[in-house]
Chain A
């Protein structure tokens, strides 16, 4: 096992590739349904996807538009001319014997995105490029035979390739999450991680701190959750350090992630690497885009996470809360509306409530489903106003909030039903205060308070609260006690 001292000698370098399934209705080169979820095998396959003789690709313009939008989200330029190429290899899930991709002239050029990490810090990760390509089908192996399902064959993807600018497993996870946010916000992908809508390949190397050259890298392919990105990076880093500490060499290879064993497993080494014989695809004319066309499509991209972060700078929420809220575009939009309507202090309170609501719904670390909360803006605002007006204590407000999540009822109705409205009527509270102070059991406390022992006021407030059935406004109670005991 590695001790912290050994671990601290090394520096992690990570570059990532991310495959994003584009949310088009049809496939990249055919009219087949592009949503293969819950479809029986080989039921959304056209002659083109099937690689029948004589079939030709017809480029789906929607995929180009989505890539243009992705380019904006990635802060990266769109090429005015991009082209498609063929990547050749034989495998039963690859009907044409080649994958159509963009090797030489990708549609999205180099850029940089800012990734928020812990403690209000952030790192810049450069994007090398991103290109459009088609997905392959899938093979399922049974005993001595395998079956091919081509439903996914021809699904449009963009592959985002980062520079090796990531230096911890937490950063790797943060990068994956931010890519997910950017791509889902921009509407580029459906973002269903369970169905592999986004898949990450992580290239990891370990080198001694201060070393001029990077260590030999290994690549862990096909990770489909943020958690597995982080764990695979961490596992690989440690595995490589263990090898290096023993004086062995890291082999450049492709590895897979075993989710049940929580470890990476060697799949193939560089020596087995195929020669893909890349070649321009003459069946697809170059994609030529004017600046106007690009600008027009990009103008339809909704606000992205960086916009919300900037906009919420003065709300007074810390970055962890903000990032948690941003993980759902619905919540981000909701909070932004509330900020615009009701200002920073309401937004701050609603932000915290939203986070509580999310955490309550969360069934794991990696929930990526759009978190739908059925509470309206106005209900949130009213709830906040009730707190402002001292009608609800913050504890009572939480109780109301959780009830609101279960049924679409306005907060006042729920507060009334649950008898949570605070009593802020002075005369009413004063009557209780007088009653408590006159009680024998309060005698000592009253004396102590008069003598200057301020701590005892808590006891007296408690007594009043108890008598009021918890409904008295505690700060008012305290004020009135002081008034009487002076």
Chain B
């Protein structure tokens, strides 16, 4: 259901009924393990306040879900980790506050890879989320829970975070719209940090218009996040014909699933039929994007995760005797394997003697990648390609081999490193019925245009 349909339903019945129904649906779909906790009590209280007229706004009474790395009331903020299993946030993330200010009602906290480290939600300390279409397959990640709960129509939209594809890839795997804005468009305040220079807050929705509304609400300058930009997002009318669109050939090689390529080509044909000008372009630096990403992001997250030391909040190991033991055991018990792997990689590349060779080198390469994008956007309005090289893979298929897991991010990571907006929209399904997403990428601050183009392409 769309947001406007839900608003109509609230008008004809009550917010309480709508929220109750949403919670009921969430419980019925428990087997997907998309949610870690429901926030029923608080949600119903707020629903009553909508019904009494105390809470108003563009989303008054509309239920939604947040990825559980957003500080939000009503249940612990766990980041799907043992470290924060019992951590109750004393304040809420700016994005959550902005949605609540418009009357939206958070009904639960969605599963993710612990601390958002992963691309399948299999790294959750509380068990994986299952794909909305095929429960033998992964939800994608790290915002898997948010994608699945939206795809299951439990809520019309959900919040996620995208550091290297964590919104777009699960959106693609579950057949929903996923928006990663320009870096700095949405405040990161109150979201458990992963990589400070690429973390972006965004949303999932069942259709583009709803994603636009949510993006409009959550975007804008926040004095509490120095990296936020002044509000520039404004919903645009349908994109005019004649847009110059570049199909990134580096994302359409033989290594990419043939059915994925087929769906993208179909989408391209449809763009052409609507009068857009699509031609192939090259992004040679894309080849290095994963290597750059897996130096810079672990470096930054190793730093951002240093605060989880068992001293002030969160998990603390029992029966320890020394300070070193307190740190060691607390972090050993509180983090999952993937967290530890990334902390170790990050600590390594930042070590004295390696910093120049890895971290600085990666930053230089990142600049080259950014320059390459900028150059393309001198000629093109939009770049297009698949969101991921394959549809959702089987649960457990890639867990033994981190590199195989990382490769699924190959198409989403470049825009993350460049801070560019990128969205994933459904492009159809393969023969087995699995969803395939198409990715639209634009220059900085062009997300409204990307969304308007995607909206004009939706089958109504």
Binding site for B on A (CB under 8 A): 47, 50-59, 86, 88, 90, 92, 95-98, 148, 275-279, 281-285
> B224 in the interface, Cβ–Cβ < 8 Å?
yes
**Closest residue on chain A to residue B346 by CB atoms:** A277
A92: contacting residue among B323, B350, B352, CB under 8 A: B323
CA distance A52 to B355 in the complex (A): 27
Assuming the A-B contacts A51-B312, A56-B226, A279-B299, are A97 and B350 also in contact, with contact meaning beta carbons closer than 8 angstroms in the complex? no
Using Cβ atoms and an 8 Å threshold, which residues of chain B touch A284? 226
Asked if B196 and A282 sit within 8 Å, CB to CB, the answer is: yes
B93 and A283 form a contact (CB under 8 A): no
A-B contact pairs, 23 of them (CB 8 A): A47-B90, A50-B312, A53-B87, A54-B89, A54-B189, A54-B191, A54-B193, A55-B189, A56-B188, A56-B226, A88-B306, A90-B306, A92-B311, A98-B306, A148-B312, A276-B352, A277-B303, A278-B355, A279-B300, A279-B355, A282-B300, A283-B193, A283-B225
What residues on A are CB-neighbors of B191 within 8 Å?
Answer: 54
The verdict on B77 contacting chain A, using a C-beta distance below 8 Å, is yes
Contacts of A86 in B (CB 8 A): 303
Among A96, A277, A278, A283, max chain B CB count under 10 A is at: A277
Residues of A near B400 (CB, < 8 A) are none
Chain A contacts of B306 at CB under 8 A?
Answer: 88, 90, 96-98
Top 8 nearest A-B pairs (CB, nearest first) are A97-B306, A282-B196, A282-B197, A277-B350, A51-B307, A54-B190, A53-B192, A96-B307
B63-116, CB < 8 A from A: 69-71, 77, 79, 84, 87, 89-91, 93
Q: With A53-B84, A53-B87, A53-B192 known to touch, is A275 a contact of B352 (CB < 8 Å)?
A: yes
Interface centre among B84, B227, B309 (most CB of A within 10 A): B309
Residue of A nearest to B359 (CB): A279
Q: What are the interface flags for B297-334 relative to A under an 8 Å C-beta threshold, 1 for contact and 0 otherwise?
A: 00110110111110111000000000100010000000
Q: How far is the CA of A55 from the CA of B189 in the complex (A)?
A: 6
Bound Cα distance from A86 to B351, whole angstroms: 13
A279 vs B363: C-alpha distance when bound (angstroms): 12
A285 to B323 Cα, complex, angstroms: 34
Residues of B in contact (CB 8 Å), total: 45
Q: Which chain A positions have C-beta within 8 A of B302?
A: 277
Find residues 282-308 in chain B having any chain A CB closer than 8 Å to their own CB: 299-300, 302-303, 305-308
Verify B226–A53 contact, CB threshold 8 A. no
**Extra contacts besides A53-B89, A58-B223 (13): CB < 8 Å:** A47-B91, A52-B90, A54-B89, A55-B190, A90-B327, A92-B311, A92-B323, A276-B352, A279-B299, A279-B300, A279-B303, A279-B355, A282-B196
A264 and B338 CA atoms in complex are apart in Å by 45
Give complex CA distance A51, B196 in Å: 15
For B89, what are the chain A residues with a Cβ–Cβ distance below 8 Å?
Answer: 53-54
A interface secondary structure, majority: loop
Bound: A95/B313 CA distance, A: 10
| Distance between Cα atoms of A92 and B70 in the complex (Å) | 25
**Distance between B310 CB and nearest chain A CB, rounded to angstroms:** 9
B347 at the interface (CB under 8 A from A): yes
Q: Are B225 and A56 in contact (CB under 8 A)?
A: yes
One of B197, B312, B359 near A95 (C-beta < 8 A) = B312
Total A-B pairs in contact (CB under 8 Å)? Answer: 99
List the interface of chain B (C-beta within 8 A of A). Answer: 69-71, 77, 79, 84, 87, 89-91, 93, 188-193, 195-197, 223-227, 299-300, 302-303, 305-309, 311-313, 323, 327, 347, 350-352, 355, 359
Question: Which residue of A is nearest B196, CB measured?
Answer: A282
- Cβ contact within 8 Å between A277 and B312: no
Given A56-B188, A278-B355, A283-B196 in contact, is the A97-B309 Cβ separation under 8 Å?
yes
**A98-B303 in contact given A51-B312, A52-B90 (Cβ < 8 Å):** yes
Question: Is there an interface contact between A88 and B307, defined as CB atoms closer than 8 Å?
Answer: no
A283 in contact with B351 given A50-B312, A88-B303 (CB within 8 Å) = no
Give, as a whole number of angstroms, the nearest-CB distance from B91 to chain A: 6
Residues of B near A92 (CB, < 8 A) are 309, 311, 323
Q: Report the minimum CB–CB distance from B325 to chain A (whole Å).
A: 12
List of B residues within 8 angstroms of A278 by Cβ: 350, 355
- Residues on B with beta carbons closer than 8 Å to the beta carbon of A277: 302-303, 347, 350-352, 355
Q: Is the CB of A58 within 8 A of B224?
A: yes
Report the minimal beta-carbon distance from B311 to chain A, rounded to whole angstroms. Answer: 5
| Contacting residue for B313 out of A52, A276, A282, CB 8 A | A52
Bound: A56/B313 CA distance, A: 17
Across-interface contacts of A95 in B (CB, < 8 A): 307, 311-312
Q: How far is the CA of A97 from the CA of B70 in the complex (A)?
A: 21
- Contacting residues, chain A, for B196 (C-beta < 8 A): 281-283
A279 to B69, CA, bound (A): 24
Chain B residues within an 8 Å CB radius of A47: 90-91
**Residues of chain A contacted by B90 (CB below 8 angstroms):** 47, 52
Known: A97-B306, A282-B196. A58 touches B350 (CB 8 A): no
A96 contacts across to B, CB distance below 8 A: 306-307
| Smallest beta-carbon distance A255→chain B, Å | 22
Q: Is there an interface contact between B311 and A53, defined as CB atoms closer than 8 Å?
A: no
The listed residue (A53, A56, A57, A281) touching B307 by CB distance below 8 A is: A53
